[in-house]
A and B are shown apart, each in its own frame.
Chain A
Amino acid sequence: MLTMLEEVVLLAVDEKTGQLRSTREFGTAYALVGAVFFDLALLRKIDTDTESIHIIDTAPTGNATLDHVLSQMAQRPNLTTVRAWIEELFLQRADLEGEALSSLIGQGILRHEVSKLLWIIDVERFPMVNNRHQQHVKLRLAHAILTDDIPDTRDIMLVSIAERCGLLNYVLSSAELANRRERIEMLCNLETISRKVTDAILNLDNSLRQSMTKVV
């Protein structure tokens, strides 16, 4: 089974061109950190509540990215809030996207191609070897959003991360998303980590706006 991080990065691959869609760069980085926390929560390595994040089990998961984050968390017991950890990992700029891509290539789901633009600039592409994995992710998202069924908790997490990354536009039409906006917000709100990712993004947006105002 793919990790939440791998599923979100796979969703960001354009199935026609193999290029990565990056719609909200800073927001995406925060959301990918959120995806790692969801992966750790699903593996019962961490738990969260409205205020804090706790490590339950430091035994390795077998996934290099998750184990790296878990190890960092174990070394910083003084950092206890979800939002502080989201911002800490964002500042360290761990290449979560790159590690997820490598893993997807290693699993034979994507392949890596480099071509030249104007004979000078390297352009990376990640064409799909088989698109059934991405289709599966899209189908789960569509079902969670378009029906009134209670989704699996993993799919609730997936909706919230895909929404924060701005990737739902590649799954459903604008009209479908507009019609189901209330449902999407409701699903995103169910998860503490998702709410904290939103807080972190809003905080970053405000900081950037203040910086721009000072410059002007």
Chain B
Amino acid sequence: MIQLTQETKSGWWVVGVQGRADAEAADELEGALRAALEAHPKVAADLAKLDYISSAGLRAVIQAARAAQARNAEFAVCSLSAPVKKVFDMSGMHHILRIHGELPC
């Protein structure tokens, strides 16, 4: 189960992600991030309230980063919760993503 919020902060369109980003939620997460990237030049995913991310969730974030690159848009992830940061660190996501400690990005 995932809950998504959208707001503007310091010139960034921020997609707040809460709950679990797993196979069941991956399409919804990817769709929301892609839609935001189509409408805004600077998009951040706020993962402070994301408790869990699986491989499918990570792939959704990678696909969003890929879409941002194709559109020449800025995309960043921010405020990773401890369990999510562990997964991002293990996967080396910092090589392909801008990862920030806090909002605003």
Contacts and interface: CB of A to CB of B under 8 A. Distances in A.
Contacts of B69: 149-150
Interface residues of B, number: 24
A50 B86 contact: yes
Q: Which of B56, B63, B91 has the most CB of A within 10 A?
A: B56
Contacts of B22: 47
B105 to A, nearest CB: 18
Interface in A162-216: 186, 189-193, 195
Given A41-B55, A44-B56, A47-B54, A152 B66 contact: yes
A153 interface: yes
B62 A190 contact: yes
B96 interface: yes
Nearest to B27: A44
B91 A192 contact: yes
Contacts of B66: 149-152
Contacts of A54: 23, 54
A153 B23 CA distance: 14
B95 A186 contact: yes
A141 B90 CA distance: 23
A49 B24 CA distance: 14
Interface string A33-60: 0000000010010111110001010000
B92 A189 contact: yes
A156 interface: yes
A126 to B, nearest CB: 32
Contacts of B42: none
Interface of A: 41, 44, 46-50, 54, 56, 149-153, 156, 186, 189-193, 195
7 contacts: A47-B55, A49-B54, A49-B55, A54-B54, A150-B65, A156-B62, A190-B92
Interface of B: 22-24, 26, 52-56, 58-59, 62-63, 65-66, 69, 86-87, 90-93, 95-96
